[in-house]
Structure formats: structure tokens, C-alpha cells
């Protein structure tokens, strides 16, 4: 009985990349033997004529019935979304996330009590297992505190090299809160008025915990109301950051410089993708970069996408992760958001979230027509930032997915502009 149960939990789903570039999804309880069988032409009719094949990704072990259900789910996904769907069932977290988790789990309650007292908070409990939304890489670690009045907070330990930048973000959010920008949660000043305190050679900050409703990752990109809400926040942000006193507007992020630098690095260190990258970079240089340099600039969130939103059932509750805020080309946030929605499900680029998002922004008239005419090209250029992240992590699956997505955007730019009622160039 025990042997049977153990075998039943040894199945996994896998994705192969075939010699013609196509993807094959299957299930197995012996990945090594199954991969060898594919390359010997014995495993599947589809892969027999498309050898050699390469394993791109595999799930965690599960029961056979669960693996078969996941296989069906992945096979229904568009090509660009197959790897992302499988990654949700990955075998294990990354080493960086394990290290982050370990720091939170080993943080002593006595230290939490001592730090909380700087904000005059009487700590009742550390909630180590409450998930905190947002990128964990931007802090040393974070965890949820509960005080004696039943209020919840997020305590964050700040890397010393991030002190100045985190201080600037805290001042920005305080300013925007005083300007009554909806859907933000400023950091709390400690008893002495400072936003970051030092305790035992570490830096700490505190923010109220906001509980949200999880996104349905298969359906959210078709919700019209989300598109309207996302556009509404950018309209409010534009209004509240006019003549912003805290940030130097002359320090404008250069997307052209960023792309050029990444392309040079890829040519030096990533021989296997440099030809594809150079083709995409040439497209941008010919069709976008000369125009980009002349586009109006505005203050931007800098990492605006649906996973950096805490949602409730029908609206935005809070916009988080302001680490990349600053002056950029005015369409930066809109282009980044659309690109992030589309990479999860390419068909959603012509869905209700994206279309309602664009329509409301265009009606508000906060961006120039020249910026809108270059929207698709802007999305392509911004995806280089995501490509850089996959390259840093040596994530070959996501690098391949990103390159496929870039080609899809370029090849379909005219039809996308038409779907968005934009006069593309």
C-alpha cells in the first residue's frame, strides 16, 4: 500500500522544446527515461520527427490524476503562456527566496518587540506565514506583525545600501498621501519622526498591512473594470505629481541607453540569442528610438502592473513597490502594464482589460498622440528590462518565452494598433 501511494505521487508534467522550435507537453513518472525515449524516437509520434528535443521545464511531483489535469490545462494555453503555467507548479523555490524565507522564520519575537517600540507599538504576535505581496528581493526580509489592538503591520529590514533610496520613497509616498492620491499606503514615521530607524546595526521601516483578494491568473486580464481602475490610478497620479518638489526632473531614465547597454552585454556573453536580439534592437533603432528621445516625460510609478496592485473584489486597494518611481517617458507605466498583461496571455492584448485601460487614458488626454502612435514599439523596448531579469537569473525558459513574445508583438503591431483604435506608425 505504501509503495503504491509513493508511486502515485511521483508523476510530473514536463515541456520539451523540439528541434523545429515547437513545444511538447507530456507527463511521466521517470523524467530521465522519458527524455531518452523522446530522443530515441520511441516516446511520442509528435517528437519522433522533431528530434533532438530539450527539456525546458518540469513541475513538482504530484499524483497521476493531478499531473494529467495540469497537462490538459497547459495544452490549452497559447504557446507563450505554457512555461508560465508550468512555473506555477515548479518543483522548488529559488535559492534567493529560500534565503529570504529563512530570515523571516528565524527572526526572534524579542527583536520584533524591540523594533516595534520605535513606533510605540506593543507587539502581540509575529505572523511568519502570512504572505506579503510585492517583490521580496527589494528588502532583506519582511514579515507581518500584529499589535495588542489587533492591527497588522509589515516590518521590513532594509539593506544598508538601500537606505537613501528607501528614505526617498517614504518621503514620496508621504507627499502623495498629503496630496490625497488614492490607493497608496505611506510608511509610518517612528516616534522621532524618521521613516527608517537603526536597531542593532540593521535598518527598519514599518507600513500598515493591506489584505487583498488574490488575482485569478487565468481570467483577470479580461476584466474590463480592472482596466478602468488601472487607468484611473494613472490619471490621478498624473494630476498629483505636477511640479513634484521631491524629485529632480532632469534625472530622466533613458530607455534607449538601457537597451543599448543590454544589447552590448548580450553580444559579449550570450552568443546563443545575440542574432535574435540584434534583429529586435535594429527594429527599435529604426522604428522607435529616434522618436522616443522626443516624447514628453512625466512622473511614473516605474513598475506598474497588476501584480503590484493589492486588489479587492471590485477596485484597487493599494499600489505597491515604488522602487523604480521617477521621471520617464510619459507612456512608460501604460506600456509596462500592457506588456505584463500580454505576456501572461497574448490573446488578452485585444481583451477588455487592455482595451478599456487604453480607452480611458486616451479620453483623459494626459498623454500625447505621438506617444500613443508608438505604443507597441514602446512595449517591445520595455520588455528588455524583463529580459535582463531572466538573463541575470539564467532562466532559459523565460528567456525563450520573452524572445517569442517580442517577435509576436513586432509581427502583430499593426493589428494591435487597430484593436486599440490607435493610429500606429
For the chain, counts of helices (H) and of strands (E): 18, 12
Where do the domains of the chain lie, and which CATH numbers do they carry? Answer: 2-87 (3.40.1440), 95-208 (3.30.200.20), 220-419 (3.90.1200.10)
User: Which residues are CB-contacts of 243 (< 8 A; sequence separation ≥ 6)?
Assistant: none
Specify the pairing of strand 12-17 against strand 23-28: antiparallel
pLDDT at 3: 42
Complete DSSP assignment for 247-309: S-TT----HHHHHHHHHHHHHHH-TTTHHHHHHHHHHHHHHTHHHHTTS-EEEE-SS-SGGGE
Distance CA 47, CA 101 (A): 40
pTM: 0.81
Judge contact between 316 and 183, C-beta under 8 A: yes
How many Å apart are CA 390 and CA 401, to the nearest integer?
10
Taking only the tens of pLDDT, the chain with its 425 residues reads: 344 444 556 899 999 988 877 889 999 999 999 999 999 999 888 898 888 998 888 888 888 888 888 888 888 777 767 777 777 666 545 555 555 556 777 899 999 999 999 999 999 999 988 888 887 778 888 999 999 999 999 999 999 999 999 999 999 999 999 999 999 999 999 999 999 999 988 999 999 999 999 888 778 999 999 999 999 999 999 999 988 887 766 678 899 999 999 999 999 999 999 999 999 999 999 989 999 989 999 999 999 999 999 999 999 999 999 999 999 999 999 999 999 999 888 999 999 999 999 999 999 999 999 999 999 999 999 999 999 988 987 777 788 889 999 999 999 999 999 999 998 66
Residue 337, burial from CB neighbour count under 10 angstroms (0-12, 13-18, 19+)? buried
What integer pLDDT is reported at residue 404 of this predicted model?
92
pLDDT the model gives residue 1: 36
Residues in the chain: 425
Distance from first CA to last CA of the chain, Å, rounded?
66
Q: What is the pLDDT of residue 131?
A: 82
Distance CA 169, CA 158 (A): 13
- Per DSSP, which regions of 119-237 are E strands? 123-127, 141-147, 152-158, 197-199, 202-208
Amino acid at each position: 500500500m505504501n509503495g503504491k501511494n509513493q508511486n502515485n505521487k511521483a508523476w510530473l508534467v514536463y515541456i520539451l522544446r523540439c528541434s523545429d522550435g515547437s513545444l511538447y507537453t507530456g507527463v511521466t513518472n521517470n523524467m530521465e527515461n522519458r527524455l531518452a525515449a523522446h530522443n530515441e524516437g520511441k516516446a511520442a509520434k509528435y517528437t519522433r520527427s522533431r528530434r533532438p528535443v530539450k527539456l525546458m521545464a518540469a513541475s513538482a511531483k504530484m499524483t497521476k490524476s493531478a499531473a494529467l489535469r495540469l497537462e490538459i490545462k497547459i495544452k490549452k494555453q497559447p504557446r507563450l503562456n505554457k512555461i508560465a503555467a508550468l512555473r506555477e507548479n515548479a518543483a522548488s523555490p529559488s535559492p534567493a527566496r529560500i534565503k529570504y524565507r529563512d530570515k523571516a522564520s528565524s527572526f526572534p519575537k524579542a527583536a520584533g518587540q524591540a523594533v516595534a517600540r520605535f513606533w510605540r507599538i506593543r507587539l502581540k504576535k509575529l505572523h511568519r506565514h502570512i504572505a506579503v505581496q510585492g517583490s521580496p528581493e527589494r528588502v532583506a526580509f519582511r514579515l507581518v506583525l500584529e499589535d495588542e489592538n489587533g492591527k497588522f503591520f509589515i516590518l521590513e529590514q532594509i539593506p544598508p545600501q538601500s537606505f537613501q533610496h528607501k528614505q526617498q520613497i517614504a518621503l514620496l509616498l508621504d507627499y502623495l498621501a498629503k496630496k490625497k492620491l488614492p490607493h497608496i499606503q505611506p510608511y509610518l514615521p517612528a516616534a522621532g519622526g524618521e521613516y527608517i530607524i537603526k536597531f542593532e546595526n540593521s535598518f527598519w521601516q514599518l507600513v500598515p498591512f493591506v489584505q487583498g483578494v488574490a488575482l485569478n491568473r487565468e481570467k483577470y486580464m479580461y476584466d474590463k473594470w480592472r482596466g478602468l481602475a488601472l487607468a484611473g490610478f494613472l490619471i490621478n497620479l498624473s494630476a498629483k505629481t505636477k511640479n513634484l518638489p521631491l524629485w529632480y526632473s532632469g534625472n530622466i531614465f533613458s530607455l534607449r541607453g538601457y537597451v543599448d547597454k543590454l544589447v552590448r552585454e548580450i553580444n559579449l556573453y550570450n552568443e546563443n540569442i545575440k542574432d535574435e536580439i540584434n534583429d529586435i534592437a535594429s527594429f527599435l533603432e529604426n522604428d522607435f528610438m529616434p522618436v522616443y528621445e522626443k516624447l514628453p516625460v512625466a512622473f511614473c510609478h516605474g513598475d506598474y502592473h497588476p501584480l503590484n496592485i493589492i486588489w479587492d473584489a471590485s477596485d484597487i486597494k493599494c499600489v505597491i513597490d515604488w522602487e523604480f518611481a521617477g521621471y520617464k517617458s510619459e507612456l512608460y507605466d501604460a506600456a509596462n502594464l500592457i506588456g505584463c498583461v500580454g505576456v501572461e496571455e497574448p490573446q488578452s492584448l485585444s481583451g477588455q482589460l487592455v482595451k478599456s485601460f487604453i480607452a480611458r487614458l486616451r479620453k483623459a488626454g494626459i498623454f500625447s498622440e505621438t506617444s500613443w502612435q508608438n505604443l507597441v514599439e514602446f512595449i517591445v523596448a520595455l520588455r528588455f528590462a524583463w529580459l535582463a531579469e531572466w538573463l541575470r537569473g539564467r532562466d532559459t525558459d523565460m528567456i525563450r518565452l520573452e524572445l517569442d513574445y517580442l517577435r509576436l508583438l513586432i509581427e502583430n503591431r499593426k493589428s494591435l494598433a487597430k484593436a486599440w483604435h490607435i493610429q500606429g506608425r
